[in-house]
Structure 1
Amino acid sequence: MSPHEIVHTGLAGMFATRPGAIEVIELDPAAPDDQQPDVILYDVVELHEGEGDELDRFVKDYHSAVVAMARDLRPDLAARAIAKGVDACVTLAGDVDEIIEVICSAVAGEGQPDADGPGNDASGPYAVLGEEVGLTPRETEVLRLLTLGLSNQQIADECFLSINSVKSYIRSAYRRIGATSRSQAVVWCIQHGFEPPSDDAGPGLMDGPGGLA
């Protein structure tokens, strides 16, 4: 699934060089469970252009494995896809054998291939943001929203958490990244691949009432 035709064409052309490895079919949202594909390839750029509702549906309602196709210049989008529960993630810049390896691993229920395997670099664009300091997926998601400028209450609403839970995740995330203020956390996140705030980001970036825990 990609809004860009060149991605469809490029992947189909790559898979055609490995006859029998991957059969590319058109996704039919109305297909019954037994006719769903083994794997859905999801271009993470969709998360830049929308809220990811379609990805949520693929992850929660489909029996298919879901592999996120990451963009090298937007590691934050790969992190969002991982936080939403995709089975694996691989860079669109990877070679055909690397992409097929990740797909086969996801279909087999083995998740992301061993980072020590061929072509897999744990620091690559499909690595989980913040994993080098031990951030949990929930802490990563909270920091992502914090970096975008959301207030604690907005983060709570977005993640279906209580405000106290959000504050707890912020405190634990701060300890992991060595931040003592919201502004320090934002700087750390941007330096480590998180999506930067937009120009019209609200007061959630500021320290003060509601800013930290």
Structure 2
Amino acid sequence: MEEGAGPISAAIVSAHDIVHTGLEGMFATRPGAIEVVPLDLGAPDDQLPDVILYDVFGLHEGDGDDLDRYVKDTDSAVVAMARDLRPDLAARAVAKGVDACVSMATDVDEILEVIRSAVAGDGQPDASGPGAEHGAAYAVLGEEVGLTPRETEILRLLTLGLSNQQIADECFLSINSVKSYIRSAYRRIGVTSRSQAVVWCLQHGFEPPQDEPGMPSAGEPVADV
């Protein structure tokens, strides 16, 4: 956005009032930087906000279809507002194609820098620039070992306890493709079995298993690849 072009219009998407209140309060300390507006997906493209600030906790409470819609069906930049205790959710948001990601725990100037970069079409700020410390850290879980976004998503589902067939259905992949991704992920993280992979993932910030209908419980064994 060019200097003097006015404030950036931003819609905050979160089920939690405290997130709306907290972000609006932060932006109020920098008058003229951000104008918080409601999100109306039925509005013409030129009336949509410059940026959608998406609370990644929505990926814990839902299936992420709303985020897919914001990323794919609007011209707004999408910035994932990450929660430091759930890096797995930030990684899922990045894998879904958000323009940038920043922690809600960081200071307002770094958040604004990430927002401006995303709105300008520059994506995540440069690793040496403002916002990098709390933004680039969420690029991809397992990035330090070279995991791709797809491998990260496969490992996430594996760690939650899904079978290979369930992962294939969730990701719209063939069972053979799932097995191939799992094997390549195993090589990258240096494990040889599903149980070892789950331990590695839990030690590196992935979401722990949950007991849900149709999903193996945390203690239920699942066959390796």
Question: The TM-score by the shorter chain falls in which range?
Answer: over 0.9
Q: What's the counterpart of residue 197 of structure 1? A: 209
User: How many residue pairs end up in the alignment?
Assistant: 210
Matched-pair contact (CA < 8 Å) for 2:94–2:140: yes
Q: 1:88 to 1:2 in 2, by over 3 A?
A: same
Q: What's the counterpart of residue 9 of structure 2? A: none
Matched-pair contact (CA < 8 Å) for 1:71–1:125: no
TM-fit CA distance, 1:118: 3.0
Q: What's the counterpart of residue 188 of structure 1? A: 200
TM-fit CA distance, 1:133: 0.4
User: Structure 2 length as normaliser, TM-score?
Assistant: 0.88
Q: 1:98 to 1:160 in 2, by over 3 A?
A: same
User: Structure 1 length as normaliser, TM-score?
Assistant: 0.93
Matched-pair contact (CA < 8 Å) for 2:101–2:135: no
Q: Secondary structure at the match of 1:23?
A: strand
Match of 1:148 among 153, 157, 160: 160
Alignment partners' CA distance in 2, 1:112 and 1:18 = 21
Q: What's the counterpart of residue 93 of structure 2? A: 81
Paired-residue identity, %: 79
TM-fit CA distance, 1:13: 1.3
Alignment partners' CA distance in 1, 2:146 and 2:100 = 19
Matches within 5 A, 1:38-117: 38-117=50-129
1:129 aligns with 2:144: no
Gaps of 5+ in 2: 1-12
Alignment partners' CA distance in 2, 1:50 and 1:64 = 21
Gaps of 5+ in 1: none
1:206 aligns with 2:218: no
Q: Secondary structure at the match of 1:40?
A: strand
Alignment partners' CA distance in 1, 2:22 and 2:133 = 23
The amino acid that maps onto 1:206 is P
TM-fit CA distance, 1:207: 5.3
Match of 1:35 among 47, 50, 67: 47
Alignment partners' CA distance in 1, 2:134 and 2:168 = 30
